[in-house]
Structure 1
């Protein structure tokens, strides 16, 4: 397949999967439940955090998280009591438990009270064509409040060679200006050109079969390699190809 044929093929797959039908089987549906900016970004952040494993279970447990916050995520973050946090104790999604959930609520409150919110914090350290330093600095701020050491594993650090799949997916949801209405695109201070593909086992395997990824591990180095190839196909909206790679892997078994 020539470079043009590959791009044409992936562009077709983007059209096939980047549409409203995608939402009903994906955790991106959780932030779509809300209309206020802060509710959208908090709901998206929490549901992206637990986005590993069985997709139906991810969606089910994300809905449970919203219910535990009274379906008012921003209000809960800003005005919760100790009694409110105690209601989170029995929550569990794989290795993310109620203690981690409570720690995330406290960290988010600090971000909104002292760092002008999630968008401002991620925008602060963006570089040309990369948000990986932003993620690294975000993690430092996120855990500047008291927290259990175990909770740190739930936010990846790309400067430690992590592909940071879930947080890159979250940034795609918040930043990408999507005419099809899947990604929410509510953050205007960050360019979609700086986004990185949410690299996971599905997108990684498809990328290797298509010859746009050679590294065997799904790590930070592989992400850099894949990002370079996707930017060559569309420098302004490189992560639209996540829909193609993911769709080919999950829905077509490519």
Structure 2
């Protein structure tokens, strides 16, 4: 393997050619559609209108942290009460209706006021720009970078008068966690997840309702599962879950598919979530994994297991 410089800027062509067939085989063996039921992506899949899809998707992605069996009922209950058209609901939303919807709402770091800002911000975006897509594209054109575009997007959504909301629902608690502004150095996993849903596809997993942003511009939604597996596969040498690490992983994935670098994200993330590829490697799982030819940890685990068996056989 050629020696890399200190700054890892993605896979070399030779490394990409070695990894591509492994990832393609892995993706082909994954029943991604069956996994949608275990993913917050299930919520926007309920709708057909692009505006309903993007509103439900941003709400679901924003609250998709912690255990799925805890956040999914929260998102489901909100969407049920918002009626058949989430977009129509947020367009007409005002503070009294927000209070009616969100009084007493609590999910981990977030309270009703936090979610009200998100919903009111989406309603304002739809009224003034026609879509969340148009709001994001405006930021992309103005800032010229993906990070800048997301920062402009969340900042615009948070332009909601806070005094009436605080009076109606109490003070905000985890608003920055829900809608970070300024965006900061973190990977912004849930926001990039939302963008993947909107931009990629439609392919049975992602919805592809945004037509003015190309999939080639997407950044990997980096979480602990993607970070761990990416390091095993040589997509990054970094250990943190920062924006820089997400950029490094994405640069490596662009060497595999320049037009659609994050197409492996859903399958890889659920592979980690399922427990098949846990933090502590399971030798039996590694030996059957289609990623084994490219996985440094899997190969080390397999060699250790083989050595143990050989030692036992010599006794």
**TM (normalized to structure 2)?**
0.74
The CA RMSD over aligned residues, in Å, is 2.2
Partner of 2:140, secondary structure, is: coil
Structure 2 equivalent of residue 175 of structure 1: 199
Separation in structure 1 between the aligned mates of residue 181 and residue 29 of structure 2, nearest angstrom: 32
Question: Paired residue for 1:163, among 187, 198, 222?
Answer: 187
Cα deviation for residue 12 of structure 1 reads 2.0
Aligned length in residues: 253
Structure 2 equivalent of residue 91 of structure 1: 105
Is the Cα–Cα contact under 8 Å of residues 198 and 242 in structure 1 kept in the other structure? yes
Partner of 2:180, secondary structure, is: coil
Separation in structure 1 between the aligned mates of residue 90 and residue 48 of structure 2, nearest angstrom: 17
Structure 2 equivalent of residue 112 of structure 1: 126
Partner of 1:64, secondary structure, is: helix
Deviations 1:195-222 (A, max 9, x none): 1110000110111111211111101111
Question: Paired residue for 1:27, among 40, 58, 66?
Answer: 40
Separation in structure 1 between the aligned mates of residue 31 and residue 156 of structure 2, nearest angstrom: 33
Separation in structure 2 between the aligned mates of residue 152 and residue 114 of structure 1, nearest angstrom: 23
Is 1:122 aligned to residue 136 of structure 2?
A: yes
Separation in structure 2 between the aligned mates of residue 226 and residue 20 of structure 1, nearest angstrom: 24
Summarize the alignment of residues 231-250 of structure 1 with structure 2, pairs less than 5 Å apart: 231-250=254-273
Is the Cα–Cα contact under 8 Å of residues 155 and 181 in structure 2 kept in the other structure? no
Separation in structure 1 between the aligned mates of residue 202 and residue 47 of structure 2, nearest angstrom: 17
Structure 1 equivalent of residue 147 of structure 2: 132
Partner of 1:160, secondary structure, is: coil
Is the Cα–Cα contact under 8 Å of residues 225 and 269 in structure 2 kept in the other structure? yes
Deviations 1:145-185 (A, max 9, x none): 22366423312368521101001000000110243x11000
Separation in structure 2 between the aligned mates of residue 205 and residue 19 of structure 1, nearest angstrom: 20
Partner of 2:262, secondary structure, is: helix
Bigger Rg over Cα: 2
Give 5+ residue unaligned stretches, structure 2. 2-14, 163-170, 279-315
Separation in structure 2 between the aligned mates of residue 250 and residue 141 of structure 1, nearest angstrom: 33
Structure 1 equivalent of residue 237 of structure 2: 214
Is the Cα–Cα contact under 8 Å of residues 175 and 192 in structure 1 kept in the other structure? yes
Q: 1:120 to 1:81 in 2, by over 3 A?
A: closer
**TM (normalized to structure 1)?**
0.91
Question: Paired residue for 1:55, among 60, 68, 75?
Answer: 68
